[in-house]
Chain A
Amino acid sequence: MARYESLLDACGGTPLVGLPRLSPTVPEGAPPVRLWAKLEDRNPTGSIKDRPALYMVREAEESGRLRPGDTILEPTSGNTGISLAMVAKLRGYRLVCVMPENVSSERIQLLRMYGAEIIFSPAAGGSNQAVAVAKQIAAEHPDWVMLFQYGNAANARAHYETTGPELLHDLPTITHFVAGLGTTGTLMGTGRYLREKVEDIQIVAAEPRYGEIVYGLRNIDEGYVPELYDATVLNRRFSVSTRDAVLRTRQLVDVEGIFAGFSSGAILHAALAVAHEAVKAGKRADVAFVICDGGWKYLSTGAYGGTLTDAEEALEGQLWA
C-alpha cells in the first residue's frame, strides 16, 4: 500500500531487507544462515518509536486520560520525544520533554522543530539530577499527563500488534529476532507475538554498554528495571560496547548501504553472534533484526569517520542509543 489518509496512518509497514553480504558464508551443502534488517527508519519521524508513541497517545485518548489541549510530559533521551512531538502536533497536544543535556544536537533541533518544549537535566548529575528535575516539574504541574513509556503496556502492544505480525508475514521462516533493549517494549511486544506463532523462536536482546559517566549512579539500589521487562520473553541478552556498535554501524553502510544510528550497530553485533553460532552448529537460520533509526541525527558526533578509538572517544559520555 502506498497511499495513506494522513502521516499517522503511514506508521509501520516498514520493509524487511536481506543482507546478502553481511550474512555469514556457510560451508557447501550446509543450510543457509541469513540476516534480515527491518528498516524502522522508514517510519514518519524516522525511528521505531513512532509505533509506541502513536499507540500510547491513542490509548490515553481512549481511556480519557488525555483530553484536547492537554500537556504531555515525557522524560526521553530522544527518539520517543521526536515521535511524541509529531503525534502531539497532529493530535493537538502540547509536549514538554525532560532530557539529559548530553544527547546529540540534532535531536534537540528536531524536537524544537516539531514544537516540543525541552527541559534539560544536567548530564554531569546523572540520574540523580534527572530525578530532582522531574520531582520539581511534577510538583509544579500536577495536571500534566505522563505516558511513561517504561511502564506503559501500549508501548509493548504497538509491537505485539504491528511489528510482530509484519515480521512473520514477511519472513515466515524466521528463527531469531534481535532488537535493542531500552524501554524493552520492542522485545516484549514482538517477542511475545513471535513466541505464540513460531516454535523455538529465539528472542535476543542487545543493550548498549555506556561509559560510567552516563550511568551516574551512586549505588546499586538506584538501578532501574523497566516495568515492561519480563525476562521470560528473552532467550539471550548481550551487552554491546561502544566500539563494537560503531564498528557494526560502519559495516552496515560500507557493506550493505544501510546508513543507521549506533543502536542498530549494537543490534547487528548480537545478530551476527547468533548467526555465526548457527553456522557452527550447521543449523538453518533466518535472523531478523531492527534498524532503529537512520544515522542523520548522529552525524555531529563525528563517529562515522576516523579511527574506532576516535569514535569511541567522541561517543564517551553520550547516550548513543
Chain B
Amino acid sequence: MAIEVRVPTILRSYTGGSKIVEGAGDTLSGLLDDLDAKHSGLKGRLITPEGGLHRFVNIYVNDEDVRFLGALDAKLNDGDSITILPAVAGGALGFAAAAAFFGR
C-alpha cells in the first residue's frame, strides 16, 4: 500500500534531500513508523516525546488537517496524499516580527 508523502525543505535532511517519499500504513501512526524505518529520525521531528503531534507541525491527508481526522489514529487509504508543513500562521511573516516584540 503506497502513500505519497510530501516533505518540507527543513526536514529533507532526513530523506536524503527527497521532496516526496513513499510509505505504507493503515493509520498515520503506522505510516510514520514505516517512514522512520526508512528515514531514521524523521518521526522524532514530528512527534513529541509524550507521543502527540508536535505543536508546530501540521500534517494534511488529501489537503485536510489530520488533527481533525483523528490525529495519529487517522485512517489512511492506498493512494492518499500526505503533506507535512511547518505551522506558520497562514504564512504571514508579521507574526514572527510580532512574536519577537513579546520575547516569544
Q: Which residues from chain A sit less than 8 Å from chain B, CB to CB?
A: 74-77, 80, 98-100, 121, 126-128, 130-131, 133-135, 138, 146, 148-151, 180-184, 205, 207-210, 212, 214-226, 231, 234-241, 319, 321
10 A/B residue pairs, CB under 8 Å, sorted by A: A99-B93, A121-B97, A180-B90, A205-B65, A215-B85, A217-B86, A220-B54, A223-B55, A224-B95, A238-B64
Please indicate the chain A residues that have their CB under 8 angstroms from the CB of B55 in the complex: 223, 225
Q: Which residues from chain B sit less than 8 Å from chain A, CB to CB?
A: 8-11, 45, 54-58, 60, 63-65, 67-68, 83, 85-102
A150 pairs with B93, CB closer than 8 A: no
Whole-angstrom distance between the Cβ of A207 and the nearest chain B Cβ: 6
A239 and B63 in contact, given A130-B94, A234-B68 (Cβ under 8 angstroms): yes
A138 to B102, CA, bound (A): 10
B93 pairs with A127, CB closer than 8 A: yes
A146 and B101 in contact, given A223-B55, A236-B65, A239-B83 (Cβ under 8 angstroms): yes
A209 and B101 in contact, given A218-B10, A236-B64, A236-B68 (Cβ under 8 angstroms): no
- Out of B8, B54, B90, which one reaches A207, CB within 8 Å? B90
Q: Which chain B residue has the least Cβ–Cβ distance from A73?
A: B101
Please indicate the chain A residues that have their CB under 8 angstroms from the CB of B87 in the complex: 223-225
B90 pairs with A121, CB closer than 8 A: no
A133 pairs with B97, CB closer than 8 A: yes
- Out of B65, B86, B91, B93, which one reaches A130, CB within 8 Å? B93
- Out of A77, A80, A131, A223, which one reaches B57, CB within 8 Å? A223
Nearest 8 interchain pairs by C-beta: A223-B56, A134-B97, A75-B94, A182-B90, A127-B96, A237-B65, A75-B97, A210-B91
A130 pairs with B97, CB closer than 8 A: yes
A224 pairs with B101, CB closer than 8 A: no
Whole-angstrom distance between the Cβ of B43 and the nearest chain A Cβ: 13
B101 pairs with A126, CB closer than 8 A: no
